[in-house]
Amino acid sequence: MILSFVPHCQRKNKIFNTLLKLCVLWALFVPAHAQVYKWVDEKGVTHYGERAPQGGKAEELEQRMANPGPAPGKSVQRNWKEQDLEFRRRRIETEQTDAKNKQREASQSQACNQARDQLAQMRSARRLYSLDEQGERVFQSDDERNTSIARLQQLVSERCR
C-alpha cells in the first residue's frame, strides 16, 4: 500500500509544478493593461491619470511598449561596427605614434653615442688637426683644442638627456 502511494504523490507534484510554471510564465508574458487618461483642467494645466475626471473631457492615451529614446543632450549610441572601426583607428594611430617615438629615441641615442665617442677621441688625442685644401695637416693650438672639447661637451649635454 505504501509503494503505490509514493508514485501517486510524485505524479501529483509533477502536475502541480508544471501548472505552477505555466502560471508564472503566463503572468510574465501577459502585459498589465492599465488605461491612462490625459485631460486639461480649467486653469490650463495638463494632468495624467488612471481614471478620467468626472464631468470633464479626458483623452484616452495609446500605450506603446518601446524603448525610450536617448535622453536630451546625449548622442545616439553607435552600433558595434562603428565602435569597432573607431577602436581600430585609434589603435593604429597609437601604434604609429609609438613607432615614431621609438624611431626618434633611437636616432637621439645614436647621435648621443656619436658625440660621446668624438669627445672621448678628442680628450685622448695629444694633438688635434684638420686638413687644408692641399690635404696637409694643420694642427690646432691648445686653446683651439679646449674650445673644440668644450663645444663637444655642450653637444653631448644637449643630445644625451
pLDDT tens digit string along 92-102?
Answer: 999 999 999 99
Asked whether residue 30 is assigned to any structural domain, the reply reads no
Asked whether residue 129 is assigned to any structural domain, the reply reads yes
Residue 56's nearest CA partner among 66, 47, 65 is 47
Q: What is the arrangement of strands in the sheet containing 46-49, beginning at the earlier edge strand?
A: 46-49, 36-40, 59-61
Asked whether residue 39 is assigned to any structural domain, the reply reads no
> Higher-confidence residue: 1 or 112?
112
* Percent of the chain with pLDDT strictly greater than 70: 77
Cell for 159?
643630445
Domain that holds residue 118: 82-159
Looking at the structure of the chain, the number of domains it has is 1
**CB neighbours of 63 closer than 8 A, spacing ≥ 6?**
36
- H helices within 30-136, ranges in order? 80-124
pTM (whole model) above 0.75: no
Asked whether residue 73 is assigned to any structural domain, the reply reads no
Residue 117's nearest CA partner among 126, 106, 125, 105 is 125
Task: Report pLDDT digits (tens) over 40-68.
Answer: 888 888 888 887 787 778 788 776 666 66
Asked whether residue 115 is assigned to any structural domain, the reply reads yes
